[in-house]
């Protein structure tokens, strides 16, 4: 497909859309799908047919619109006064309604009310802060397009950036544009993306010994890191499920910029839906000539393969991820040499996170200045967060960098659920920290989060209320790191075990002040001597809770607080329905 | 773990391909699926994890015979294949029960009571996480996060996601599904 | 092209393909190592050889970091000494390392390092997992309780003998050295009984059958000798 053909497809697709007066978007992301949303789509379709409105309205299965706690969600976009459904949200000739907690049996009522008043009992306002306070770049198409149709992506401008790059820009110009945009890696560490691309582009594939398997021609590689392992994080999953072509487009642009002809998407096997949609997307893009050889009629060739993770958190670390793609144990190796110089099979390799790559096509289309105009001085653009925990609105949000935690938790998130008080926000998963109330007005960007002892991380944001036991939070994350340690380096392998034992002892009321001292000493050592990011950041949850909630540790060490009573028998619990709220697992 | 002394070649010190091993590879059609996966990677070592995924999906677990077969076909040392198979959480060397329940212990689920859900199921079915009930009907596993955090706490039964599970109701929800699949048979 | 750098303030010159460890050794500067063994590739796992490099906020393993022009390296600061002590302490607590009853007593690299870093007692919990002793091989034995998972045996078997009989199974603290598909050593069909793994072992984990307390002397230098002989036809006797 060349640019003309792409434009033709986009035009005809848009035209076809204007012929339908109603567009019914049913979320089929993992969370809504688990609540039977596919049945809802079928029921709506059947209902439209039965009422003879099938020609007039269209049901679309789409990716996650974000507000998972109200799912299954159905959004209806209708034309008013017979005008074409405009793309501009402000256009008053178009009406949008969002229905929450939809069940398949609601289909009849929804269809009956397409032209009249909305179904009041299902409606949830679209002008609530959850939606209005967000800025969508990465998620702009999630919830609007059918992720299993390439035409849908093309209709909203998809693959335009790739063809623009291939026909109008040199690789160096692409790298310069990304550099100027200020885009930084969204996987957690925030390394400048343009700098990384530039290094891979410059690297000589023969500088280090290589061992590329037979049948693979490329001597540079692009890897999309979709091994979203942080518990409580599902940003990348939603993008892969809701807008898979965007990732392929971002990868192809990156590949052109660095001179790679082969790419890999490394996805957790725990995300079967994402894998399926990516596979479909790759097939479609190949058929359309937007992947494969001679893309868009140019000389550029680029293929993408999917590789499945198999349940190892450490494989999110880039050298471990490479070892895993090579078919081995996911064990990291010391850097340097960095993968940009010697990565997959010894070749220069670019590894970018899903969200990072998803930012690339809009930067190319709208320009570096547009992107650099969003966010703060050092953190540009937006960040997608998975907002979960004890907050009213849980789900997926995208906010400009620099927004305050307070806005996220209290405006977008709607505040603490269950009428309790805010205690902390945990960001960065097992590598991050807990941020207490005193920093609620702090801007969310890479530097500020690091300053208060947490990290941006990949985007998990877990809100904790005042019933949360912070020592237990630290113990939970330490157990996670201990189980996920690959075992290669001693500080991480043996240090996490010892730290976990001390934390458990504190929880059981058996710890002394000496234990607390040894714990702090271990935290420092493991942080500074471990081989990879997993070990280097494993102490962070302990360090940050010690920093802000030290009195909770002290109370337990001094024996002022009785150790937590462990789980009750289910029989007694069922007799006493109150028991659960009195003793949630992590809360005291 | 039982060891099958039927495989040929160095792996057992037996140079002749025995009738039983060839039979199993031919008669059990599931090996064709694994074969197809390995062929897709040109029978090269970097296809190991994909081959293990195929085998795990086909058989529900990885036995010695299958691991040796994969090692031989991909020309890899058996110790490496075993090392990889035991490194990743999703691979299991033990046969699983007829049905599988996975309890998510990710952060969001954890702070919403996943540990209690797990304990309730463990109690009800007299099985520890990672184990299988004595009647081989149910394997109970834990996961690090399904990414369905908005539905926390989450469990899955044979791949079906069940969200917002109360500890008091978890065992019952599983019992219902077990009864349904047993009745269907 | 030679590089000039300083290690502990001492100006030295090194080849550009040398690691900090190699350069330091040429200048007779001692850096403690454990998972490093001459003749095998380095993995940077034990973290004993971590050094401070001016301008880097991270500590770098001397065994895998190449020298650079103008590098300022410190190998023996108070902080590094404290970390090294802690690492050795963690190892002593992790499995069972009671020197007095060990075949390698007096010839053990872990023991020597314990003395070197001044680790006179262990403040961490002794984990003492009950791991097996494999005596199924007619000439050699393996005591997993003494194993520190340095993977020197794995590398010796793969890189010098070429059999790759040995690998690591599991992960984290549950990692275990295995032969073939976790079979008893005596039943391994790929093992050539060459004994290189035994030579490579820094502790009493791998030993010759019949050794009693303090009798097991490893022959680790032989591996570098072999490598030079095989690859370069040079016999450094």
- Nearest C-alpha in A relative to B114: A585
If asked whether residues B58 and B117 sit together in one domain, one would say: no
pLDDT of residue A86: 44
Instruction: State how far residue A96 is from chain C, nearest Cα, in angstroms.
Output: 51
Q: How far B5 CA lies from chain A's nearest CA (Å)?
A: 26
Nearest to A303 by CA among A272, A342, A265: A265
Nearest to A310 among B41, B88, B166 (CB): B88
Cα gap B107→A521, rounded to integer Å: 26
State ipTM: 0.96
Residues B115 and B175 in one domain: yes
C223 vs B: CB within 8 A: no
| Residue A574 pLDDT > 70 | no
pLDDT tens sequence for chain B (185 residues):
333 434 445 555 443 445 567 778 888 888 999 999 999 999 999 999 999 999 999 998 999 999 999 999 999 999 999 999 999 998 999 888 889 899 988 888 888 888 899 999 999 899 998 889 988 889 998 888 777 887 889 998 888 888 888 888 888 888 888 888 888 76
Domain membership of residue B10 (yes or no) is: no
Task: Report yes or no on B77 lying in a domain.
Answer: yes
Average pLDDT, chain C: 95
Cis-peptide into A337, omega within 30 deg: yes
B149 annotated to bind ligand:
yes
The Cα A220–Cα A286 span in angstroms is: 20
Using the 3D structure, point to which of B87, B107, B127 is the last residue of a domain: B87
Look at residue A473 in the predicted model and tell me its pLDDT: 93
Which carries the bigger pLDDT value, residue A429 or residue A519?
A519
Rounded-to-integer distance, Cα A142 and Cα A28, Å: 11
Tens-place pLDDT, residues A369-409: 999 999 999 999 999 999 998 999 988 999 999 999 999 99
How many domains does chain B contain in total? Answer: 2
Whether the CB of A529 is below 8 Å from some CB of chain C: the reply is yes
CA dist., res. A137 & res. A354, Å (int): 13
- Are A286 and A397 found together in one domain? no
Say which DSSP state B123 is in: H
The residue-averaged pLDDT of A497-522 equals: 95
When CB atoms are compared, the residue of C43, C93, C172 closest to A482 is C172
Q: How far apart are CA A85 and CA A94, in angstroms?
A: 6
Q: Are B163 and B123 in contact (CB under 8 A)?
A: no
Q: Does B46 touch chain A (CB under 8 A)?
A: yes
Contact list, B102 vs chain A (CB under 8 Å) = none
pLDDT band of A570, cuts 50, 70, 90: very low
CATH of residue A446's domain is 3.10.20.600
- Chain A residue whose CA is closest to B164: A69
Q: What is the per-residue pLDDT across C213-226, written as a single tens digit (0 to 9) for each?
A: 888 888 899 999 99
Stretch A496-516: mean pLDDT: 95
Contacts of A222 (CB under 8 A, 6+ apart): A251, A254, A255, A258, A260, A262, A263, A264, A349, A350, A352
Whether B31 and B104 map to the same domain: the answer is no
Distance from CA of B57 to the nearest CA of A (A): 12
Residue B5: per-residue pLDDT: 39
d(CA A379, CA A192): 10
- Does one domain contain both B123 and B158? yes
Residue B9 within any structural domain of the chain: no
Our CA angle for C79, C84, C86, nearest 5°, is: 95
Query: Do A181 and A215 lie in a common domain?
Result: yes
Encode pLDDT of C119-142 as tens digits.
Answer: 989 999 999 999 999 999 999 999
**Interface with chain A: mutation pick from C171, C176, C177, highest number of A CBs within 10 Å:** C171
In this structure, is residue B3 part of a structural domain?
no
Class of domain C2-76: alpha beta
The conformation of residue A54, written as its DSSP 8-state character, comes to T
CB nearest to A232's CB, from B107, B116, B162:
B107
CB contact C53 to B (< 8 Å): no
Say yes or no: A40 and A111 in one domain. yes
Is the pLDDT at A457 greater than 90, yes or no? no
Task: Give the structural domain span for B134.
Answer: 99-184
Chain B residues in contact with C166 (beta carbon < 8 A): 79
CATH number at residue B104: 3.40.30.10
B169 to chain C, closest Cα gap in Å: 35
Residue C27: the pLDDT is 96
Report which of A460, A465, A461 is spatially closest to residue A416, judged by C-alpha positions. Answer: A465
Number of structural domains found in chain A? 4
Does residue A407 share a domain with residue A350? Answer: no
- Quick one: B103 and B143 in the same domain? yes
Q: At what angle do helices A235-242 and A244-258 cross, to 10 degrees?
A: 100
How many CB atoms within 10 Å of residue A418? Answer: 9
By Cβ distance, the residue of C163, C167, C183 closest to B83 is C167
> May I ask the CATH architecture of the domain C83-232?
2-Layer Sandwich (3.30)
Contact C141, C204 (CB under 8 A): no
Q: Is residue A138 part of a domain?
A: no
Please state, rounded to an integer, the average pLDDT across all residues of chain A.
Answer: 90
pLDDT (0 to 100) of residue A1: 85
Q: What's phi and psi for A76, nearest 5 deg?
A: -120, 125
Please check whether residues A391 and A320 belong to one and the same domain. Answer: no
Residue A566 lies in a domain: no
- pLDDT 10s digits, C61-89: 999 999 999 999 999 999 999 999 999 99
Helices (H), chain B: 19-27, 30-40, 48-59, 64-74, 78-87, 107-111, 114-125, 167-184
User: How sure is the predictor about A90, in pLDDT bands with cuts at 50, 70 and 90?
Assistant: very low
Residues B80 and B104 in one domain: no
Look up residue A142 and give its two tokens. Answer: 């999630």
pLDDT at residue A264 is higher than 80:
yes
Contact C181 B78 (CB under 8 A): yes
Instruction: Judge residue A90's burial from the number of C-beta atoms within 10 Å of its C-beta, 0-12 exposed, 13-18 middle, 19 or more buried.
Output: exposed
Residue B101 assigned ligand-binding role: no
Q: What is the pLDDT of residues C157-168, one digit of tens each?
A: 999 999 999 999
* Other chains touching C, judged by 3 or more CB pairs under 8 Å: A, B
A428 in the same domain as A284 = no
For the ranges A224-233, A558-567, B1-10, the lowest mean pLDDT is seen at: B1-10
**Same domain (yes/no): B31, B78:** yes
User: Do B133 and B73 fall into the same domain?
Assistant: no
Same domain as A392, residue A417: yes
Q: Is residue A563 part of a domain?
A: no
Domain's final residue, options B36, B64, B87: B87
- A66 is in which domain, residue-wise? 19-126
Please indicate, yes or no, if residue B78 is contained in any of the structural domains. Answer: yes
- The answer to whether the CB of A464 falls within 8 A of the CB of A552 is no
Please indicate if any CB of chain A lies within 8 Å of the CB of B50: yes
In a domain, residue A83? The reply is yes
Say yes or no: A515 and A461 in one domain.
no
Degrees, nearest 5: CA angle A252-A257-A261 = 50
Q: Does residue A587 fall inside a structural domain?
A: no
| Residue A565 domain flag | no
Q: Given CA atoms C190, C193, C195, C201 in this order, what sign does their dihedral have? A: positive
Does B80 lie in the same domain as B125? no
pLDDT at A583: 35
């Amino acid at each position: 497909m060349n640019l003309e053909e792409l434009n033709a497809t986009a035009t005809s697709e848009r035209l076809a859309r204007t012929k339908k007066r109603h567009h019914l978007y049913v979320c089929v992301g993992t969370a809504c799908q688990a609540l039977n949303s596919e049945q809802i789509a079928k029921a709506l379709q059947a209902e439209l047919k039965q009422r003879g409105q099938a020609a007039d309205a269209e049901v679309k299965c789409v990716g996650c619109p974000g507000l998972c706690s109200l799912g299954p969600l159905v959004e209806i976009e209708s034309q008013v006064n017979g005008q074409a459904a405009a793309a501009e949200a402000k256009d008053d000739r178009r009406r949008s309604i969002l229905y929450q907690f939809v069940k398949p049996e609601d289909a009849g009522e929804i269809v009956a009310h397409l032209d009249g008043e909305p179904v009041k009992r299902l409606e949830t306002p679209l002008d609530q802060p959850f939606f209005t306070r967000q800025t969508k770049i990465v998620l702009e198409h999630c919830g609007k397009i059918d992720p299993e149709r390439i035409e849908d992506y093309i209709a909203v401008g998809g693959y335009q950036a790739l063809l623009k790059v291939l026909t109008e820009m040199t690789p160096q110009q692409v790298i310069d544009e990304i550099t100027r945009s200020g885009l930084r890696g969204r996987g957690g560490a925030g390394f400048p993306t343009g700098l990384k691309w530039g290094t891979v582009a410059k690297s000589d594939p023969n500088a280090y010994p290589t061992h590329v398997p037979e049948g693979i021609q490329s001597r540079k590689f692009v890897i999309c890191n979709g091994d979203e392992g942080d518990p409580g994080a599902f940003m990348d999953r939603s993008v892969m499920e809701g807008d898979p072509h965007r990732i392929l487009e971002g990868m192809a642009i990156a590949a052109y910029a660095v001179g790679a002809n082969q790419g890999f998407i490394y996805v957790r096997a725990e995300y079967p839906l994402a894998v399926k949609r990516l596979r479909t997307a790759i097939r479609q893009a190949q058929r359309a000539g937007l992947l494969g050889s001679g893309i868009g009629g140019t000389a550029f060739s680029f293929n993408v393969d999917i590789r499945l993770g198999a349940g190892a958190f450490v494989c999110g670390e880039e050298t471990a991820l490479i070892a895993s793609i090579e078919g081995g144990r996911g064990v990291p190796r010391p850097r340097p040499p960095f993968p940009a110089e010697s990565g997959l099979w010894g070749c220069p390799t670019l590894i970018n996170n899903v969200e990072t790559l998803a930012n690339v096509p809009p930067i190319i289309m709208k320009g570096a200045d547009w992107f650099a105009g969003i966010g703060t001085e050092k953190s540009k653009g937006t960040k997608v967060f998975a907002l979960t925990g004890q907050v009213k609105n849980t789900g997926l949000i995208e906010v400009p960098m620099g927004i305050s935690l307070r806005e996220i938790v209290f405006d977008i998130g709607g505040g603490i659920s269950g009428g309790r008080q805010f205690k902390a926000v945990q960001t960065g998963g097992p590598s991050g920290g807990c941020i207490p109330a005193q920093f609620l007005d702090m801007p969310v960007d890479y530097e500020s989060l690091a300053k208060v002892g947490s990290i941006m991380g990949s985007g998990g944001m877990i809100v904790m209320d005042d019933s949360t036991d912070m020592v237990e939070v630290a113990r939970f994350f330490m157990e996670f790191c201990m189980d996920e340690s690959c075992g290669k380096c001693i500080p991480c392998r043996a240090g996490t075990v010892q730290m976990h034992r001390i934390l458990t002892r504190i929880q059981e009321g058996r710890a002394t002040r000496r234990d607390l001292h040894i714990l702090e000493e271990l935290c420092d050592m493991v942080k500074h001597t471990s081989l990879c990011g997993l070990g280097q950041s494993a102490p962070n949850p302990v360090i940050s809770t010690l920093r802000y909630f030290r009195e909770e540790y002290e109370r337990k060490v001094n024996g002022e607080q009785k150790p937590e009573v462990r789980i009750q028998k289910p029989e007694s619990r069922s007799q006493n329905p109150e028991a659960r709220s009195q003793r949630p697992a992590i809360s005291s | 773990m039982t060891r099958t002394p039927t495989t040929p070649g160095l792996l057992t010190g037996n140079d002749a391909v025995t009738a039983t091993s060839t039979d199993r590879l031919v008669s059990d059609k599931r090996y064709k699926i694994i074969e197809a996966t390995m062929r897709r990677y040109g029978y090269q070592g970097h296809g190991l994890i994909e081959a293990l995924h195929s085998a795990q999906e086909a058989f529900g677990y990885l036995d010695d015979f299958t691991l040796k077969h994969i090692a031989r076909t991909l020309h890899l040392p058996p110790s490496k294949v075993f090392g990889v198979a035991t490194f990743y959480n999703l691979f299991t060397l033990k046969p699983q029960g007829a049905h599988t329940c996975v309890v998510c212990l990710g952060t969001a689920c954890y702070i919403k009571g996943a540990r209690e859900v797990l304990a309730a199921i463990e109690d009800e079915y007299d099985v520890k996480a990672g184990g299988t009930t004595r009647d081989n009907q149910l394997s109970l596993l834990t996961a690090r996060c399904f990414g369905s955090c908005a539905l926390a706490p989450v469990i899955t039964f044979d791949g079906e996601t069940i969200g917002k599970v109360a500890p008091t109701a978890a065992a019952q929800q599983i019992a219902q599904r077990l009864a349904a699949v047993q009745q269907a048979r | 092209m030679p590089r000039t750098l300083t290690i502990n303030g001492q100006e030295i010159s090194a080849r550009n393909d040398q690691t900090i460890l190699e350069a330091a050794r040429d200048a007779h500067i001692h850096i403690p190592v454990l998972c490093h063994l001459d003749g095998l590739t380095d993995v940077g796992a034990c973290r004993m050889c971590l050094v401070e490099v001016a301008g880097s906020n991270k500590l770098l393993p001397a065994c895998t970091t190449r020298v650079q022009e103008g590098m300022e390296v410190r190998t023996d600061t108070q902080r590094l000494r404290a970390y090294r002590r802690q690492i050795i302490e963690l190892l002593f607590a992790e499995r069972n390392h009671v020197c007095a009853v060990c075949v390698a007593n007096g010839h053990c690299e872990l023991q020597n390092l314990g003395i070197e870093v001044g680790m006179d007692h262990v403040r961490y919990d002794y984990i003492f997992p009950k791991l097996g002793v494999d005596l199924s091989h007619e000439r050699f034995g393996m005591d997993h309780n003494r194993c520190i998972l340095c993977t020197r045996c794995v590398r010796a078997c793969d890189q010098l003998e070429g059999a790759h009989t040995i690998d690591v199974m599991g992960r984290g603290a549950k990692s275990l050295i295995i032969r073939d598909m976790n079979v008893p050593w005596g039943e391994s069909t790929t093992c050539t009984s060459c004994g290189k793994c035994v030579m490579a072992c820094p502790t009493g984990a791998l030993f010759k059958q019949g050794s009693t307390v303090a009798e097991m002397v490893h022959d680790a230098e032989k591996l570098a000798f072999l490598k030079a002989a095989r690859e370069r036809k040079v016999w450094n006797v």
